[in-house]
Amino acid sequence: MTDLKYEISDILEQAGDEKEFFGSIDIDSIMMGEREVEFKNPVIIKGVLKNVGHGILAEGKYQTMIINECSRCLDQFDQELIGDLEELFVSDKEKYDKEDREVFPITNRTIDLEPAVYQLVVTEIPFKPLCKSDCSGICPTCGKNLNKETHDCKEESIDIRMSKLKDIFKKSEEG
């Protein structure tokens, strides 16, 4: 497991200084209530660390791929998670805690993006994922996945009507 710690001595003294960051971290899985969401790819992050005077602002993007389970048909599917990263790191975190603002600490002239990234990824995982927006789901009667299989539940009644119609035609032909 690679970590997302960045030493920031070189930009800590002068407001306006910045440097790029790039990293990746492996997350095996995250429990979302009863559901376990597995990760197919590591979470990749990149962006810029900026000295904004009162702290270091990490600005960039994160991207990963998870294996999700469709809430309708229960099939597994790959889903890309992608989003913006914007977190403030400060050396006087207690002050911000009092204001109820979420910031992350600068410890030993180092920032750790891992908790922030983890948090972002968790909030991005959909609560009721769908494999596709028009997923047909599972038939409550026969239990078949209707994206992949046809079933006779509805068709059955149509078939019966059709055969009755055929009978009528047959009779009229005979008569």
Nearer to Zn ion, 51 or 79 (CB): 79
Count other Cβ atoms within 10 Å, centred on residue 70.
20
Which segment (1-9, 48-56, 113-121, 145-153) binds Zn ion by CB under 5 A? 145-153
Q: Which is nearer to Zn ion, 35 or 46 (CB)?
A: 35
Q: Does 35 bind Zn ion (CB under 5 A)?
A: no
CB of 140 to Zn ion, least distance (A): 8
Site membership for Zn ion, residue 141 (CB under 5 A):
yes
What's the rounded Cα separation, in Å, for the pair 63 and 42?
8
Q: What angle do CA 79, 121, 111 make, to 5 degrees?
A: 140
Mark residues 101-140: x for contact with Zn ion by CB under 5 A, - for none: ------------------------------x---x---x-
Q: Hunting for tokens 């009507």 — which residue is that? A: 161
Are the CB atoms for 57 and 87 separated by under 8 Å?
A: yes
CA dist 150 and 168 (Å) reads 28
Give the SS3 label for residue 45: strand
- The mark string for 66-105 relative to Zn ion (x by CB under 5 A, - otherwise) is ----x-xx--------------------------------
Question: Considering beta carbons, is residue 99 or 134 the nearer one to Zn ion?
Answer: 134
Q: Smaller CB distance to Zn ion: residue 128 or 171?
A: 128
Give the sign of the dihedral formed by CA 3, CA 4, CA 5, CA 9: positive
| Residue 164 host element (H or E) | helix 153-174
User: What residues make contact with Zn ion under the rule CB under 5 A?
Assistant: 70, 72-73, 131, 135, 139, 141-142, 151, 153
